[in-house]
Structure 1
Amino acid sequence: MNALRQCRFLNTRAVHQAAALTKKLEAHGGIVIEHPLIAIDMPADFSPVRQALHLLEHYQWLIFTSVNSIRFFFQLLKDEGVDLTLLENMKFAAVGGQTAAALEKKGYRAAVVPKAFAAEHLADELVNVIKSGERVLFPRSSLARNVVVAGLERVGIEVDAPVIYETVYDVSGAERLNRLLKAGTLDVILFTSPSAVHSFFQQVSASVWENSRHSLRVAVIGAITARALTDYRVDDVIVAEQHTLDGLIDTLISEREMLRVASEFKRGRNNDSE
């Protein structure tokens, strides 16, 4: 299990999510530095989501587009003392295999999980299955794109989309991030969300990035995150074929020979300069 031996990865996931990716990389011999670029927190104003939870019987569909939304939703149900039997007759939709799996761990199966893990595809599938008069509750991130709500409302489906958690840029380690890039020892930077991409480029100086970008590979979990990188003229990106952590690992392994050669070349170059 050493397919990624000696490759050095920068894991940019939030603190509470980083360990899962780190363990998978290390299991294949990768060397991982964790550096969170985003943080997840409770919303400043709970009133919209609280109101929705206490009117749960008025909804027929629940949409989740992230594991975090499930985590916060069920925690709030518990905190607010909402009767879980109200969920028994509801239908669920989820974006991504990990989100659907997290929902199943709570005891509920998603009726709709689009094959392509993107919100656009979820909206397209839902308009064909949501019946006239059914209402939708979509607890979402503060940075969630509006494509699901817009897609459903366009055909007259009523959607309530209260913010259930805040996604904020974690800039506390900006100096460390620039030092890591200057050191030239990283091989691959991993992004699993567009917000992490935007946080990264908000913190890294233009000169540091320009001097380091040609000796690095960038790998992402899906097309939406890859699209965010194009805003910063980063087009040479490794994109997971399956948009899950396991899919990302599999794609990295398929690129292992190129990563290994680049890593060994960099190690040799750094040793020559010492």
Structure 2
Amino acid sequence: MEARRDDLARTADAPSSPLAGRTIIVTRAEAQAREFASALESHGARVIHCPMIEIVPPESYDLLDEAIDNLYGYDWLIFTSVNGVEYFLRRFRELGHDTSELDELRVCAIGEATASSLREAGVRVDLIPNRFTAEGVFAAIETAVGGRDHLRGMVFLLPRAAVARDYLPRALEEAGARADVVPAYRTVRPQSTDRARIEALLIGGSVDCITFTSSSTVTNFAQLFDTTDLSKLLEGVAVACIGEITARTAAEYGLQTHIQPEEYTTAALVRAIVAYFERQR
């Protein structure tokens, strides 16, 4: 954890930082935004918290419980986020299981933060794809098992958000595998967001940058303002998206992405934001 904090803030503390005096809206879930916001602030930015998602338990644990009770039937366990790890392992332990029971499965973690969360819980990680998109994950798994033909007959468990992209399970099934997608948590829009304050800041031209770290943050931000076109509201504001999928969702709401790191992590996003405003000097 300390290493990740150092990575987020490692080039900070310079009084002449390009973020000095800049106001940045952070839409990430409040519980997960602290390190990200702290890194931006250490570069001199003024951070406005506007959480657009809240992580909550699934409406029902039935499917997750069934999957956990039948773990012996799976070959691979795929975690797409830290949230998936936390909510899966929480329920896993509530049902009286120990992480040692996962030793018989091969575990794929998307992103170093997800892998670190698993390792900290005592779970062995067998694969971390180089590319964090669903397409990249499929390619990495295909290589890890020795080719597409070896996927046939394999069974994969994906505990993740109740609403998520379907490419990966679909691609696995097209290759002859079985992919069980079970809801381990839900992302919902917080009810306490201060829309009036955010709107006043945007209309007043007080915001320099807005960050989106998932497609849900974009969609929920648009819903907050009851619009399908965010271009006018965010005119003159630099849009920072953590990755290709989020940027694609932003485009669906009329936004051009100005800042997008090659690596889909908040540490990389901080560096990309700093680099962007360095060029604006």
- Asked if these proteins are the same fold (TM beyond 0.5), I'd say yes
Deviation of 1:193 after TM superposition, in Å, equals 0.3
Alignment of 1:161-200 (within 5 A): 161-173=181-193, 174-200=195-221
In structure 1, the gaps of 5 or more residues are 262-274
Alignment of 1:229-240 (within 5 A): 229-240=250-261
Residues paired across the two proteins, number: 260
Contact residue 184 and residue 212 of structure 1 kept, 8 A: no
Deviation of 1:258 after TM superposition, in Å, equals 4.1
Deviations 1:158-200 (A, max 9, x none): 1211111011122532333323322321110011000000111
**Match of 1:34?**
49
**Match of 1:75?**
90
Percent identical residues: 32
Mapped pair 1:134 → 2:149: no
Q: In the alignment, which of 227, 234, 254 is matched to residue 213 of structure 1?
A: 234
Determine the C-alpha separation between the residues in 2 that align with 1:89 and 1:207.
46
- More deviation in 69-78 or 197-206? 197-206
Contact residue 178 and residue 205 of structure 1 kept, 8 A: no
In structure 2, the gaps of 5 or more residues are 1-12
Contact residue 231 and residue 253 of structure 2 kept, 8 A: no
Contact residue 124 and residue 151 of structure 1 kept, 8 A: no
TM-score, normalised via structure 2 length:
0.86
TM-score, normalised via structure 1 length:
0.88
1:226–1:211 CA distance, 2 compared to 1 (3 A): closer
Deviations 1:186-233 (A, max 9, x none): 110011000000111111255995554232111111111111111012
Contact residue 134 and residue 157 of structure 1 kept, 8 A: yes
Determine the C-alpha separation between the residues in 1 that align with 2:77 and 2:100.
14
1:208–1:138 CA distance, 2 compared to 1 (3 A): closer
1:188–1:55 CA distance, 2 compared to 1 (3 A): same
- CA RMSD, 1 decimal: 2.0
Give the SS at the match of 2:144: coil
Q: In the alignment, which of 49, 52, 60 is matched to residue 75 of structure 2?
A: 60
**Match of 1:202?**
223
**Match of 1:267?**
none
Contact residue 182 and residue 208 of structure 1 kept, 8 A: no
